[in-house]
A and B are shown apart, each in its own frame.
Chain A
Amino acid sequence: MVSGGVGEMEAKETGLSRDAADDGVGEARADTIISVRGLDFFYGPIQALFDVSLDIPRNLVTAFIGPSGCGKTTLLRCFNRMNDLNEEARLVRGTIMIGGVDIHDAAVDPIELRKRVGMVFQRSNPFPKSIYENVAYGLRVGGLRDKGALDEVVERSLRNAALWDEVRDRLGDSAMALSGGQQQRLCIARAIAVEPDIILMDEPCSGLDPIATMKVEELIHDLKRRYTIVIVTHNMQQASRCSDRTAFFYLGRLVELGETMRVFTNPAHKQTEDYITGRFG
């Protein structure tokens, strides 16, 4: 478990992160869906997250911002236990509750967790299958065989991902033939097909042109009525345009979390202000 050395170091450095965490936790509402407490995360000997605590409310868009390497992806991948696959990765201390359940509890099956917590990756990764099969994939591995039910979910998911009109006539074509923006929306359709509660998006627009980015942002706006969305982004404008709450990370610590408007217009911390005004990062 946690060694004495790390513990002492923590004690000395809590000043900053406690404040920041309190900001997030203090505003917590009754409908918190993800709740993180005191998370210390390591890759081998290197600590990537330091004592992170935050609450993410249901059916809102929360943006993670911060300079490259500050641990946004790492935290995101904790939520669906994707880090389990990395041999180096170690969650040393802290808890993550999703919907009131500790996701590292022995009774929690990561497979079931990942059905409830969908993920859209930074590099769009459609499978080299047909458009239809891409969207149906999660249901098929979940054991659904009924063709009618599959058809229905595929259509609904593509409609909800604002892709239906563009692909309705060529569902059997390879997904690799779609444009970059369409591929990313396909990945979103694929994620919502399994009816998750939460969708994690890791810089979903980083490879897209401005028009494709705009479409994905509109989509995020539509989706938040039904899903809780956590989006990592490098793009300040994107965070301010499409998120309700923003968390700023720096060097593995949560510096500030609050209403997006407030964080951007009146940041409580000097580091946040420097970052959003582009003075570093």
Chain B
Amino acid sequence: MRAIAMGRGASVRAGWRRAAEAAVVLALRGATYAILLAAGFVFADIVWKGAPVVLRPTPPFVNVGFLTQAPQTLHVFEDGAGREVRLGERDFREFQARSGRAVAARSFAHAGGGIMPCIVGTVLLTLGSIAIALVLGILCAIYLSEYSRQGPFIRVVRLAIVNLAGVPSIVFGLFGFALFVLFFGWNVSLLAGWCTLAAMVLPVIITACEESLRSVPAGFREGALALGATRWQAIWTNVLPHALPGMLTSSILGITRVAGETAPIMFTAAYVIRDDLPWQGLGNAGEFFFQGVMALPYHIYYLSSKVPPNEYTRDARYGTVFVFLALVFAITLMSILLRARMRRSRPW
């Protein structure tokens, strides 16, 4: 009797356990699907509304004007046949001159033209800041992982690096503004933006560089030292060449962060509108570093917050976001491929 009762109790408990297990799995799966849903929704929206702005169904398959012009004011008016016409600033002037009369039109700032200066500006900001961060980061990583003796000071340095990684980007923006723009007097400039962005990605880069250095077998260092090499000779000839590919590929992930941030550049490097490309209208080569540039993330911020949202300004917004996302995807994809290739070609 007793044995049977116990058996029944156990089977009821087993049933509960199974139900609880199923509920947990469902909750976990639901959370995962929610992520997929959110990401899918965001991407679908951007592609759906942005792709038609940038891509074309006929050769050359892209909207060349959008990729090669500067942002312009968009003018909307009705032509003689009562059709709605949208023209950028330059085309509108031409049209007016040809028609020989003032055309009554509604105007929308920044909604016409293209985003060439933003693309160029973002590329320049990214390359420069990554270059600065790489040089500093590699030197710092070599010191930390090859030379320094573990002690309280190095622990503090490492703590500082970890904390630097957690600082919000707007704080970097204000820091850069205070130090580079005001104190050094560089004004809103490429150089100030580079340094600010470099400071922001430095922790990521240092960590990546240290990891690559650690992945070089100890035997390469010891073997060199045992042959009478100095530490620096061993590092230069036998460690760095093997760590460098890893440092570079891991740093590409830093690129996406640098390219994507708005806050660090809004006070230090970004202009709302600038028709000249960075290499145009320079008095001397030095001026190149002290000019502000347009940038994709800041342009998006500006379009979304300062330009009234309506059907005429929508294309500029979605087109810019689409190009921006495509750029970031391309960089990420490249880093993944490079990493995979490097893993395969590692000589040890």
Nearest A residue to B228 by beta-carbon distance? A115
Report A124 CB to chain B, min CB distance, Å. Answer: 8
Which of A121, A141, A174, A176 has a CB less than 8 Å from the CB of B228? A141
A168-200 Cβ-contact flags toward B at 8 Å (1 or 0): 000000101000000000010011001000000
Report B6 CB to chain A, min CB distance, Å. Answer: 54
Report A227 CB to chain B, min CB distance, Å. Answer: 15
In the docked arrangement, what's the CA distance between A82 and B219, Å? 12
Report A203 CB to chain B, min CB distance, Å. Answer: 14
In the docked arrangement, what's the CA distance between A191 and B220, Å? 14
Question: Which residues of B have CB within 8 Å of A90?
Answer: none
A120-136 Cβ-contact flags toward B at 8 Å (1 or 0): 01010111100000000
A176 B348 Cβ-Cβ under 8 A: yes
In the docked arrangement, what's the CA distance between A115 and B348, Å? 26
The yes or no answer to A87 lying at the interface (CB within 8 A) is: yes
Tell me whether A121 and B225 are in contact in the complex, defined as CB-CB below 8 angstroms, given that A128-B348, A141-B230, A174-B347 are known contacts. no
The yes or no answer to A62 lying at the interface (CB within 8 A) is: no
Which of A115, A141, A174 has a CB less than 8 Å from the CB of B233? A141
Which of B225, B230, B233, B348 has a CB less than 8 Å from the CB of A82? B225
B230 A111 Cβ-Cβ under 8 A: yes
Question: Which residues of A have CB within 8 Å of B220?
Answer: 125, 127-128
Question: Which residues of A have CB within 8 Å of B149?
Answer: 87
Question: Which residues of B have CB within 8 Å of A126?
Answer: 223
Question: Which residues of B have CB within 8 Å of A114?
Answer: 225-228
B199-239 Cβ-contact flags toward A at 8 Å (1 or 0): 00000000000000000010110111111111001000110
The yes or no answer to B75 lying at the interface (CB within 8 A) is: no
The yes or no answer to B163 lying at the interface (CB within 8 A) is: no
Question: Which residues of B have CB within 8 Å of A140?
Answer: 237
The yes or no answer to B242 lying at the interface (CB within 8 A) is: yes
B226 A141 Cβ-Cβ under 8 A: no
Q: Known A-B contacts: A119-B226, A137-B227, A141-B233. Give 19 more (CB < 8 A).
A: A82-B226, A87-B149, A111-B229, A111-B230, A125-B217, A125-B222, A126-B223, A127-B224, A137-B224, A137-B229, A138-B227, A138-B228, A141-B224, A141-B228, A141-B237, A176-B348, A187-B223, A190-B223, A191-B227
12 contacts between A and B (CB under 8 A): A82-B222, A82-B225, A111-B230, A114-B227, A118-B227, A121-B222, A121-B226, A126-B223, A128-B347, A128-B348, A141-B228, A194-B228
Residues of A within 8 A of B (CB): 80, 82, 85, 87, 111-112, 114-115, 118-119, 121, 123, 125-128, 137-138, 140-142, 174, 176, 187, 190-191, 194
